[in-house]
Amino acid sequence: MSDGFFHAQQGSTQDIGHSLWQACVDQLAQELPEQQFNTWIRPLSARLADDYSSLTLYVVNRFKLDWIRAQYSKRIAALLESIYGQPIALELAIAPRENVNAVRNQIASFVDAESLPEAIPVEEVSYSVASVQSASSSRHRLNTALTFDTLVEGTANRMARAAAMHVAGSPGQLYNPLFIYGSTGLGKTHLIHAVGNRLLAEKPGAKVLYTHAEWFVTDVVKAYQRKTFDEFKDKYHSLDLLLIDDVQFFAGKDRTQEEFFNAFEALLAKKSHIVMTSDTYPKGLLDINQRLVSRFDSGLTVAIEPPELEMRVAILINKAQSEGASMPEEVAFFVAKNVRSNVRELEGALRKILAYSRFNQKEVSIQLAREALRDLLSIQNRQISVENIQKTVADYYKIKVADMYSKKRPASIARPRQIAMYLAKELTQKSLPEIGELFGGRDHTTVLHAVRKISGERQQLTELNQQLHVLEQTLKG
């Protein structure tokens, strides 16, 4: 058995397997759009091998198995490894007949059990789970747990939060559209759900819809294929409040942009409110039509920054409380000092600590946190610094280290500089403004542009991908 996370725990193999899979599911719930999560991940059941060498996920049919293998297995394996503390084989198998009953029970917890047929054919089971779950939140698709009450306020999100509260209280007036941007895991999705939940609490009859930009794209494609644009317009143009997440996903999708433009104009004309999120400010969006970009910027654009130390501490203490656990302030400080990038990672660290404490039946302390986060801390101890990255990249591309800070623009210098900025974001905990500062006082938007450019090109250019791989290996030692 691993000497990592689950080493000293109590409980049967299946308890351990269940906890391991549950931690993985929690993380996937954060990462995936709700619909994808409900359709593909939620219906899975897991079994840990007696010798802890593999975890098998049971899927109801061959089609779903192939899809999960193609789309999700890499991410699931990586998550299992990070939670478990060392690689664990991931296997996928068709669910044996008796597992189907377990799924049936799961469905029964959402609907009246009597209304289910005695034997549900295997093929229908996961479909039923997915559709029952999405029906429960189908009208507005809001996650009712994401409210202003559960969102900790700090300098990093103060303005965005105030603007969002204003919109929730008086929609259709000031700040329309409200455009919220920031890096991953900083609370953008949480904030726009909070707007919807607050408005519905005050005006239960309001027509509110939360959607992810990818779902909007899917709706456009469906309307196009089925020639149902009237239905599409009914759905989007009649809203009082449209909350749309991650609009950077509209990049390069001209037809979707056109439909979004139409919806946008229709909603603003009837004084409905639009709240959007993105990973960058409007003018930083790539491959989005200019007339749309200028509309995005025509209300209020606000950033959410990475949380400062005190805010990270408050988030940890609040989240621990909401899980019925307590986290002493000194432990919260210890964790907050070491996990600095975003709130999602902070939550991951907290989950590990609480699970470690439960399994070992020990109080949460700095020592326990140190043990639970051993892997994470050891990665940090390898201390990849921005200076080190600049030197390594400069050596590799045979330019001077000083060119990393200079204002020179020839491609032979600008490109290695962008690569170094990209690696600094990937391999260190530094924020975009901090990286910009270390590259000769550049603006954080310059760094963001470099990060997005190199990560996009990496997907397409094999040669660049190989160079980055060599650089990463060299830096990680």
Shortest approach of ligand ATP to residue 176 CB, angstroms? 21
Determine which helix (DSSP H) or strand (DSSP E) holds 448, and give its type and residue range.
helix 444-460
Nearer to ligand ATP, 31 or 124 (CB): 31
Contact in structure between 230 and 240 (CB atoms under 8 Å): no
Footprint of ligand ATP on residues 114-173 (CB under 6 A)?
146, 150-152, 157
Among 163, 208, 275, 315, binds ligand ATP (CB under 6 A): 315
Longest Cα separation, the chain = 74
185 part of the interface to ligand ATP, by CB under 6 A: yes
Tell me: does residue 348 bind ligand ATP (CB under 6 A): no
Q: Is 197 in the site for ligand ATP (CB under 6 A)?
A: no
| Cβ pair 474, 302 in contact under 8 A | no
State in angstroms the smallest separation of the CB of 460 from ligand ATP: 22
Is 222 annotated for ligand binding? no
Q: How far apart are the first and last CA of the chain?
A: 27
Q: Which is nearer to ligand ATP, 195 or 343 (CB)?
A: 343
Are 368 and 353 contacting, i.e. CB atoms less than 8 angstroms apart?
Answer: yes
Binding status of residue 312 toward ligand ATP by CB under 6 A? no
Tell me the number of residues near ligand ATP by CB under 6 A: 19
Task: Give me the residue whose beta carbon is nearest to ligand ATP.
Answer: 187
Pairing between strand 178-181 and 89-94?
unpaired
> Is there binding between residue 452 and ligand ATP (CB under 6 A)?
no
Q: Is 189 labelled as part of a ligand binding site?
A: yes
Query: Do the bridges between strand 208-212 and strand 178-181 make them parallel or antiparallel, or are there none, so unpaired?
Result: unpaired
- Is 30 near ligand ATP (CB under 6 A)? yes
**Residue 389: what residue type?**
I
324 labeled binding residue: no
Is 233 annotated as contributing to ligand binding?
no
The dihedral over CA atoms of 430, 164, 268, 185, expressed in degrees to the nearest 10, equals: 30
- Is the Cβ of residue 17 or residue 187 nearer to ligand ATP in the bound state? 187
Please name which of 382, 381, 399 lies closest in space to residue 390, comparing C-alpha atoms.
Answer: 399
Q: Which is nearer to ligand ATP, 305 or 347 (CB)?
A: 347
Among residues 64, 140, 190, 417, the one that binds ligand ATP under rule CB under 6 A: 190
Q: For residue 197, count other CB atoms closer than 10 A to its CB.
A: 23
- Out of 65, 343, 386, 389, the residue judged to bind ligand ATP by CB under 6 A: 343
Q: Rounded to the nearest whole angstrom, what is the least distance from the CB of residue 282 to ligand ATP in the complex?
A: 16
What are the strands of the beta sheet with 241-245, ordered from one edge? 208-212, 241-245, 273-278, 178-181, 300-303
- Whichever of 90 and 180 has its CB closer to ligand ATP, that residue is 180
Tell me the window of 8-16, 41-49, 182-190, 359-367 that interacts with ligand ATP (CB under 6 A). Answer: 182-190
Does 186 interact with ligand ATP (rule: CB under 6 A)?
yes
Task: Calculate the dihedral angle through the C-alpha atoms of 12, 14, 15, 18, rounding to the nearest 10 degrees.
Answer: 160
Site for ligand ATP in 46-105 (CB under 6 A): none
Burial (CB count <10 Å: 0-12, 13-18, 19+), residue 389: buried
Nearest C-alpha neighbor of 458 from the set 466, 448, 450: 466
Known binding site for ATP: residues? 185, 187-189
Known binding site: residues? 185, 187-189
Binding site for ligand ATP (CB under 6 A): 30, 146, 150-152, 157, 182, 184-190, 279, 315, 343-344, 347
